[in-house]
Amino acid sequence: MGSGKTLVGALAAQRANTLFFDLDHLVEDKAGMSIAEIFATHSEDAFRAFEKETLPSVLQPDSVVALGGGVVLDDDNWRLISSRAVTVFLDVPFETIWDRIRNLPGRPLITSRTEPEVRALYDRRRARYEEAMHRVDGTQPAGVLADEVLKLWSA
Protein backbone atom coordinates (compact mmCIF):
# COMPACT_ATOMS: atom_id res chain seq x y z
CA MET A 1 0.00 0.00 0.00
CA GLY A 2 2.31 2.69 -1.28
CA SER A 3 5.52 1.50 0.38
CA GLY A 4 7.45 1.18 -2.88
CA LYS A 5 7.39 -2.61 -3.19
CA THR A 6 7.22 -2.64 -6.99
CA LEU A 7 10.02 -0.13 -7.56
CA VAL A 8 12.34 -1.56 -4.91
CA GLY A 9 11.64 -5.14 -6.00
CA ALA A 10 12.30 -4.35 -9.66
CA LEU A 11 15.57 -2.59 -8.78
CA ALA A 12 16.71 -5.45 -6.55
CA ALA A 13 15.93 -8.03 -9.23
CA GLN A 14 17.69 -5.98 -11.89
CA ARG A 15 20.80 -5.61 -9.73
CA ALA A 16 20.78 -9.34 -8.94
CA ASN A 17 20.13 -10.20 -12.59
CA THR A 18 17.18 -12.37 -11.61
CA LEU A 19 13.45 -12.65 -12.27
CA PHE A 20 11.03 -10.09 -10.91
CA PHE A 21 7.32 -10.69 -10.38
CA ASP A 22 4.72 -8.16 -9.33
CA LEU A 23 1.73 -10.08 -8.02
CA ASP A 24 -0.75 -7.27 -8.70
CA HIS A 25 0.34 -7.03 -12.35
CA LEU A 26 0.11 -10.79 -12.81
CA VAL A 27 -3.39 -10.81 -11.33
CA GLU A 28 -4.37 -8.07 -13.77
CA ASP A 29 -2.94 -10.11 -16.66
CA LYS A 30 -4.76 -13.25 -15.53
CA ALA A 31 -8.06 -11.41 -15.08
CA GLY A 32 -7.67 -9.39 -18.27
CA MET A 33 -8.54 -6.20 -16.42
CA SER A 34 -7.12 -3.75 -13.91
CA ILE A 35 -7.45 -4.25 -10.17
CA ALA A 36 -9.90 -1.35 -10.06
CA GLU A 37 -12.01 -3.07 -12.74
CA ILE A 38 -11.93 -6.38 -10.86
CA PHE A 39 -13.22 -4.62 -7.74
CA ALA A 40 -15.86 -2.70 -9.72
CA THR A 41 -17.19 -5.55 -11.83
CA HIS A 42 -16.67 -8.44 -9.43
CA SER A 43 -15.55 -7.80 -5.84
CA GLU A 44 -12.62 -7.66 -3.49
CA ASP A 45 -13.23 -11.37 -2.82
CA ALA A 46 -12.82 -12.10 -6.55
CA PHE A 47 -9.56 -10.16 -6.57
CA ARG A 48 -8.30 -12.06 -3.49
CA ALA A 49 -9.19 -15.36 -5.22
CA PHE A 50 -7.11 -14.36 -8.26
CA GLU A 51 -4.27 -13.41 -5.89
CA LYS A 52 -4.43 -16.73 -4.04
CA GLU A 53 -4.47 -18.67 -7.31
CA THR A 54 -1.51 -16.75 -8.75
CA LEU A 55 0.67 -16.60 -5.64
CA PRO A 56 2.27 -20.10 -5.75
CA SER A 57 3.55 -19.57 -9.30
CA VAL A 58 5.53 -16.44 -8.38
CA LEU A 59 7.25 -17.82 -5.31
CA GLN A 60 10.13 -19.26 -7.29
CA PRO A 61 13.69 -19.80 -6.11
CA ASP A 62 16.07 -16.98 -7.01
CA SER A 63 13.34 -14.49 -7.85
CA VAL A 64 12.15 -11.23 -6.34
CA VAL A 65 8.43 -10.76 -5.78
CA ALA A 66 6.48 -7.60 -4.99
CA LEU A 67 3.39 -8.82 -3.18
CA GLY A 68 0.13 -6.93 -3.07
CA GLY A 69 -0.38 -5.24 0.28
CA GLY A 70 -3.32 -7.40 1.33
CA VAL A 71 -2.22 -10.85 0.14
CA VAL A 72 -0.41 -11.55 3.42
CA LEU A 73 -3.57 -11.19 5.50
CA ASP A 74 -4.79 -14.61 4.38
CA ASP A 75 -3.18 -17.10 6.78
CA ASP A 76 -2.71 -19.78 4.10
CA ASN A 77 -0.99 -17.26 1.84
CA TRP A 78 1.26 -16.10 4.67
CA ARG A 79 2.27 -19.67 5.52
CA LEU A 80 3.14 -20.30 1.87
CA ILE A 81 5.08 -17.05 1.55
CA SER A 82 6.96 -17.62 4.81
CA SER A 83 7.94 -21.15 3.83
CA ARG A 84 9.20 -20.25 0.36
CA ALA A 85 10.65 -16.75 0.59
CA VAL A 86 12.87 -14.36 2.46
CA THR A 87 10.35 -11.76 3.57
CA VAL A 88 11.20 -8.07 3.90
CA PHE A 89 8.88 -5.42 5.32
CA LEU A 90 9.46 -1.96 3.83
CA ASP A 91 8.50 0.00 6.91
CA VAL A 92 7.02 3.36 5.94
CA PRO A 93 5.04 5.59 8.32
CA PHE A 94 1.36 5.95 7.52
CA GLU A 95 1.69 9.69 6.91
CA THR A 96 4.24 9.09 4.15
CA ILE A 97 2.12 6.38 2.55
CA TRP A 98 -0.97 8.60 2.73
CA ASP A 99 0.92 11.41 0.98
CA ARG A 100 1.98 8.97 -1.76
CA ILE A 101 -1.37 7.31 -2.44
CA ARG A 102 -4.24 9.58 -1.47
CA ASN A 103 -4.64 11.08 -4.94
CA LEU A 104 -3.55 8.12 -7.05
CA PRO A 105 -6.15 6.60 -9.37
CA GLY A 106 -6.68 2.85 -9.63
CA ARG A 107 -6.53 2.05 -5.92
CA PRO A 108 -9.96 0.66 -5.10
CA LEU A 109 -9.30 0.18 -1.38
CA ILE A 110 -8.41 3.87 -1.09
CA THR A 111 -10.96 5.47 -3.38
CA SER A 112 -13.71 7.24 -1.46
CA ARG A 113 -12.22 6.32 1.92
CA THR A 114 -11.26 8.85 4.51
CA GLU A 115 -7.79 9.14 5.97
CA PRO A 116 -8.89 7.48 9.26
CA GLU A 117 -10.40 4.57 7.30
CA VAL A 118 -7.20 4.07 5.31
CA ARG A 119 -5.16 4.33 8.51
CA ALA A 120 -7.28 1.53 10.02
CA LEU A 121 -6.54 -0.62 6.95
CA TYR A 122 -2.83 0.18 7.29
CA ASP A 123 -2.89 -0.74 10.98
CA ARG A 124 -4.61 -4.08 10.27
CA ARG A 125 -2.02 -4.96 7.65
CA ARG A 126 0.96 -3.73 9.63
CA ALA A 127 0.55 -6.42 12.29
CA ARG A 128 1.20 -9.08 9.63
CA TYR A 129 3.96 -7.10 7.92
CA GLU A 130 5.81 -7.03 11.22
CA GLU A 131 6.00 -10.83 11.08
CA ALA A 132 8.39 -10.61 8.11
CA MET A 133 11.90 -12.02 8.59
CA HIS A 134 13.40 -8.58 8.03
CA ARG A 135 12.35 -4.97 8.34
CA VAL A 136 13.99 -2.03 6.58
CA ASP A 137 13.42 1.70 6.81
CA GLY A 138 11.24 2.24 3.76
CA THR A 139 11.71 6.00 3.78
CA GLN A 140 15.18 5.66 2.24
CA PRO A 141 15.72 6.17 -1.51
CA ALA A 142 14.64 3.18 -3.64
CA GLY A 143 18.20 2.37 -4.72
CA VAL A 144 19.40 2.22 -1.12
CA LEU A 145 16.45 0.00 -0.22
CA ALA A 146 17.16 -2.33 -3.15
CA ASP A 147 20.75 -2.71 -1.94
CA GLU A 148 19.53 -3.48 1.60
CA VAL A 149 17.08 -6.07 0.29
CA LEU A 150 19.85 -7.74 -1.71
CA LYS A 151 22.10 -7.91 1.34
CA LEU A 152 19.32 -9.55 3.35
CA TRP A 153 18.48 -11.92 0.52
CA SER A 154 22.06 -13.11 0.11
CA ALA A 155 22.80 -13.39 3.84
Tens-place pLDDT, residues 57-97: 999 999 999 998 889 999 999 999 999 999 999 999 999 99
Query: What pLDDT score does 26 carry?
Result: 94
Angle at which helices 115-129 and 94-101 pack, to 10 degrees?
120
Task: Tell me the CATH architecture of domain 5-150.
Answer: 3-Layer(aba) Sandwich (3.40)
Task: Note if the pTM is more than 0.85.
Answer: yes
Backbone angles phi, psi at 25, to 5 degrees: -65, -40
Instruction: Tell me which of 128 and 113 has the higher pLDDT.
Output: 128
Tens-place pLDDT, residues 131-153: 999 999 999 999 999 999 999 98
Q: How many degrees, rounded to 5, is the angle at CA 48 between CA 116 and CA 146?
A: 75
Nearest Cα to Cα of residue 70 among 138, 151, 129: 129
